[in-house]
Structure 1
Amino acid sequence: MSKPAFSFEFFPAKTDQGHDKLLSTYDELNQLAPAYFSVTYGAGGSTRSRTINIVEALCARGETEIAPHLSCIGDDKAQIAELLEHYKSLGIKRLVALRGDLPSGQVGMGQLPFALDLVKFIREETGDYFHIEVAAYPEMHPQARNFAFDIDNLVNKYQAGANAAITQFFYNADSYLYLRDALEQRGIDTNAQPLIAGIMPITNSSNILRFADSCGADIPRYVRKQLADFGDDRKAIREFGFDVVYRLCERLVSEGVPALHFYTMNKVEPNKRLVQALGLTD
């Protein structure tokens, strides 16, 4: 069985100190030879300048591909077209195209209200120049009308020109497999247009519960119970969290997942530990 590819996600640091620390984290994780690093883009483009700054710094720092997130909420077509040209000038060939979250107080969805519109616009502007990845939701987008609607929306993004999709994080492998099967049933060849599994390590119980509640990801009852039982025992939480996520990744690898995308939270550990324990670098 071939080993899946793996990649890492960063978010732009808010301070110069955080920026320098992120570059150091990049250096260490880059030694593992990931397929690429992605860099997030805040609600309504709220981290636009910081995203561009870290993307430029990472492009200059190494040869590994950098994939900036690009959201259509808050930016008009001219702004997005300008950003596409800038990324082309940096040699970037990969993008993660998202709708993005509405920032507080914003009314209206702009010229490109959905990720589907953004994918179409990127293809209209740049043809096949960029490898485009989009978001997928194994447990349904929290704002979707129903599961069938959500899956159809993902199918439409693939058909509009998305090369691959990266899932929201999840801890139930069956939810990923259900989504993959549903895509195949709707005519998407997931060998040609992969469904990449988004992986969120567990290191802090309050953080992971907050993230899950905000984005509609399910935390299995046994995980919630065990995290609660550990209380403030951070070491126990880290070891339990590692075991949960390692077992999840093991199952996904055994089921032929094409790639794992780690939401690093700008940390080296436990992302490095998971990649090495899974033998992805051997």
Structure 2
Amino acid sequence: MKRISFEFFPPKTDEGRTKLLTTQQKLLAKTPAFFSCTFGAGGSTRDNTREMVDKLREQHADTAPHLSCIGQSREEILELVRGYRDSGVRRIVALRGDLPSGMGYAQSEVKYADDLVRLIREETGDHFTLEVAAYPEMHPQARSFEDDIAHFKRKIDAGANSGLTQYFYNADAYGYYMDALRRTGCDAPVYPGIMPILNVANLIRFSGVCGADIPRWLRSKLDDIKDDDQAVKAFGEEVVTRLCERLLAMGAPGLHFYTMNQAQASLRILDNLGL
């Protein structure tokens, strides 16, 4: 049985929150292992994330808050971790996080994701399943591919259970990444992050920010059809379905969907896969 999970971001309005709960109800039909809810740079969505996690969990759905360490004090992090533990949350996505504008690393007491994992384990033992980030195409700030692999292994050695990847559209990148991890002796499961293609301009913008590569052939085709929303969605569905088919055939243990708080694209891809 392949593990399926879905990622949301915390809406800023009551209307957005209501729509997200409707989206969750649709996605529950696929019996996901969990939902996750993102956390803004430097904790900028701290309260929204915590509130949304509580609402999502009301549907008896395992929900994992994202928790980043940059921009927060050690005590602020522990306050969140204890609160989640006491409310019954059993899974956290532990991240370094992005630096807010104008902030330097020296201002953060906990600087890296492996330090955050270690801190959570020291405070709560094995209470939480800890997911961490993985980058098949290399983190944009990594010094080298080898350093990036070593950093992921440090997160696992610190106590993380598994990885969720940045989205990508080149299955070979995932295969090469997994081979490199195995050569280091790291056998933790790594779940590919899947980004359905809904809007060309948004995809290009997101990819530029996070360092995800859009292959030249894909970018060219999307440029040709970018003004036809239906054509973009149909082509995107086909491309991402084929990507998922190949990843699962390569042995990926499951899929983690970046939903953009929408249900239909992810549902169609899962239906195409027979999952």
Confirm or deny a common fold (TM above 0.5): yes
The secondary structure found in structure 2 opposite 1:129 is: coil
Could you tell me which residue of structure 2 aligns to residue 234 of structure 1?
A: 229
Q: Does residue 1:77 correspond to 2:74, yes or no?
A: yes
Correspondence list, 1:18-33, <5 A: 18-33=16-31
Q: Does residue 1:263 correspond to 2:258, yes or no?
A: yes
- RMSD value, Cα: 0.9
Q: Which amino acid aligns with 2:6?
A: F
Correspondence list, 1:1-282, <5 A: 3-60=1-58, 62-107=59-104, 108-189=106-187, 193-280=188-275
Residue deviations 1:14-64, cap 9 Å, x none?
A: 11110111111111111221010000000000000100110011112x222
CA 1:125–1:160 in 2, change beyond 3 Å: closer, same or farther? Answer: same
TM-score, length-scaled by structure 2: 0.98
Whole-angstrom distance in 2 between the partners of 1:232 and 1:119: 44
Q: Cα offset for 1:171? A: 0.4
Whole-angstrom distance in 1 between the partners of 2:258 and 2:251: 20
CA 1:245–1:113 in 2, change beyond 3 Å: closer, same or farther? Answer: same
Whole-angstrom distance in 1 between the partners of 2:226 and 2:191: 33
Q: Which amino acid aligns with 1:114?
A: Y
The secondary structure found in structure 2 opposite 1:270 is: helix
Q: Which amino acid aligns with 1:126?
A: T
Residue deviations 1:160-180, cap 9 Å, x none?
A: 111000000000001001111
Percent identity, aligned pairs only, is 54
Whole-angstrom distance in 2 between the partners of 1:64 and 1:17: 21
Whole-angstrom distance in 2 between the partners of 1:205 and 1:78: 41
The 4+ residue runs of structure 1 with deviation greater than 3 A are: none
Whole-angstrom distance in 1 between the partners of 2:81 and 2:239: 39
CA contact (8 A) 1:68 1:96 kept: yes
Residue deviations 1:192-238, cap 9 Å, x none?
A: x2011100000100111111111111101111000111131111111
CA contact (8 A) 2:5 2:255 kept: yes
Q: Which amino acid aligns with 2:174?
A: Y
The secondary structure found in structure 1 opposite 2:93 is: strand
The secondary structure found in structure 1 opposite 2:167 is: coil
Whole-angstrom distance in 2 between the partners of 1:231 and 1:274: 20
Q: Which amino acid aligns with 2:14?
A: D
Residue deviations 1:89-148, cap 9 Å, x none?
A: 221110000000011122334110111110110111111111001000000000001111
CA contact (8 A) 1:59 1:90 kept: no
Q: How many residues align?
A: 274
Q: Which amino acid aligns with 1:128?
A: D
Q: Cα offset for 1:75? A: 1.2
The secondary structure found in structure 1 opposite 2:143 is: coil
Please list every run of 5 or more consecutive structure 1 residues that lacks an aligned counterpart in the other structure: none
Moved more, 258-267 or 72-81: 72-81
TM-score, length-scaled by structure 1: 0.95
